[in-house]
Structure 1
Amino acid sequence: MSRIIAGAAGGLPLLSVPGTATRPTTDRVKEALFSRLDAYEVIADARVLDLFSGSGSLGVESASRGAKIVDLVESADKAAAVSRSNADLVNKTLKQQTVRVHHLKVETYLDRVTSEDQWDLVLMDPPYPVENESLTTILATLVPHLAKGAVVVLERSSRSQEPDWPAGLERFAEKKYGETRLWFAEPTAARL
C-alpha cells in the first residue's frame, strides 16, 4: 500500500489503481525523489503539475509538503477516479483545496492552458510505451509555462533512452533506482 511519506499529511494511506495498467512509483523512489526536491527548495508554495498522474501519489505528496496548487492530469478512467479519491482525501486532511484533478489526455490539457499558467515543478511518469517523440513534444509544450527556477522530473524505465530535450529545457541530473530512472531538467538561461 502506498502512503504519503512526509509533510502535513505524512503517513496517510493512498488508494492504488486496480489492475496492472499503471506502474506506481515505489515508496523508495518517491522518498529519494522528494529528498532531492526538498534539497532544491522547489516544493514549498510551488505550483505543481503532475502529468500521467496515475493514482496521484507524486502530486499529493507535493501538497503534503507545502505546494500551493497541485494539478493532477490523467486520462485513464480508473486511474483518474483513484487520483480524485486521493486528492479529496489529502484536501480534506489539509483542510484546503490544494489538489485538483483533470480527467484529460495530457496533450489536451496542455492545449488548454493559458499564457498565465506557470509551474514551479512538473512531475511526469508516462506509461513506458509512450514514445520519445511524444515526450519531446509534451516537454516542448511545457517550456513556455515553466517559472524561473522550475524543475521538471521525468520518470522512465531504467532501460529507456534519455528523451530528446527540446530547446529551452536541459537535463541537469539523473538518477537510477533499480528499474526506475529519473531525469531532472530545468529551463535554460536563454529561455528565461
Structure 2
Amino acid sequence: MRIISGKYKGRRINPPKNLPVRPTTDMSKEALFNVLNNHFSFEGLKVLDLFAGTGNISYEFASRGSSPITSVDGDFGCVKFIKQTAAEYDFNIAATKSDVFKFLEKNNATFDIIFADPPYALDQATFERIVVLVFEKNSLNQDGMMVIEHSKYTKLDHMIHFSFKKTYGGSIFSFFELPASDNEEDEDLFDEDSEEE
C-alpha cells in the first residue's frame, strides 16, 4: 500500500496479511483523488471513512492535510492497525470499531467527505441503505460529497443526490453531492409549512 500524494507521498505502509480486506488499488485510488482534487482543497476537510479496512483511504486524506478523520470498521484487527499507523505518522485519525450501519444510525456529526468501501458481495439493498442513512441523518455537510466504491453488479444511479460515477477496472465509484441550494430549498418548504399551521 502506497501513499500517492501529500506530506508522505511515496511512503509504503504494510498491513498484516491476515486482515479481512480488499484494499482499493493504487490506480483506482489515484483516479479517485484526482476527481476529488477538482472539487476540494483537502486541508482541514472533515472526513468519514466507512468500512475503512487497512485505513488506505484515511491515510491518503491525512497525508493531504485533511483533519479530523473518522475511520469505522467492524474488525478489531483493522481498527488496531489504523490506530497504530495513525500514531506512527501523527495523523488525526480516530479509528472506531463498530458495525457501520449502527454507527450511521447513532451518528450526529457531519462531514465534508464520506467514503464507503463495503464488501462487493453485499446485496443491492445493503448498498442503498448506506445512502439512505447518510442523508436521513444529515451526515453530509452542504457542498459535501459522498463516494461509494462498488462493483458493476451494484447500481446506485437512482438513489437520492446521486451525481455521477467513474469506472476504473473492476471498480466503480458512485458520487453523491449535497449542494447548499438543496438544504436551502428544504428549509424554505419547512418554513412555509410552519406558517400555514
TM-score, length basis structure 1: 0.85
Question: Does 1:161 find its partner at 2:154?
Answer: yes
How far apart, CA to CA, are the structure 1 residues paired with 2:74 and 2:58?
A: 15
What is the Cα deviation at residue 135 of structure 1? Answer: 2.1
Provide closer, same or farther for how the CA distance between residues 42 and 17 of structure 1 changes in structure 2, counting only shifts above 3 A.
Answer: farther
Counterpart of 1:177 in structure 2 is 168
- Cα contact 1:136–1:164 (8 A) shared by 2: no
How far apart, CA to CA, are the structure 2 residues paired with 1:14 and 1:71?
A: 19
* SS in structure 1 of the partner of residue 53 of structure 2: coil
Question: Does 1:106 find its partner at 2:91?
Answer: no
How far apart, CA to CA, are the structure 2 residues paired with 1:27 and 1:17?
A: 18
- Cα contact 2:19–2:77 (8 A) shared by 1: no
What is the Cα deviation at residue 17 of structure 1? Answer: 4.8
Counterpart of 2:36 in structure 1 is 37
How far apart, CA to CA, are the structure 2 residues paired with 1:118 and 1:20?
A: 29
Aligned residue runs from structure 1 range 1-192, under 5 A: 2-19=1-18, 21-91=20-90, 98-114=92-108, 117-143=109-135, 144-157=138-151, 159-163=152-156, 166=159, 169-187=160-178, 189-192=181-184
How far apart, CA to CA, are the structure 2 residues paired with 1:112 and 1:15?
A: 32
Which structure has the larger Rg over C-alpha atoms? Answer: 2
* SS in structure 2 of the partner of residue 186 of structure 1: strand
Counterpart of 1:94 in structure 2 is none
The one-letter code sitting in structure 2 at the alignment partner of 1:44 is E
Return 5+ residue gaps in structure 2 as ranges: 185-197
What is the Cα deviation at residue 6 of structure 1? Answer: 0.8
The one-letter code sitting in structure 2 at the alignment partner of 1:162 is K
- Cα contact 1:54–1:74 (8 A) shared by 2: yes
Q: What does the per-residue CA deviation read over 1:87-118, in whole Å, with 9 as the maximum and x for residues that have no partner?
A: 22332xxxxx511100111112223322xx11
Provide closer, same or farther for how the CA distance between residues 75 and 25 of structure 1 changes in structure 2, counting only shifts above 3 A.
Answer: same
Q: Percent of counterpart pairs with the same letter?
A: 27
Return 5+ residue gaps in structure 1 as ranges: 92-96
What is the Cα deviation at residue 162 of structure 1? Answer: 1.3
Larger % of helix: which?
A: 2
- Cα contact 2:50–2:116 (8 A) shared by 1: yes
Q: What does the per-residue CA deviation read over 1:54-85, in whole Å, with 9 as the maximum and x for residues that have no partner?
A: 00110111011111210000001222222222
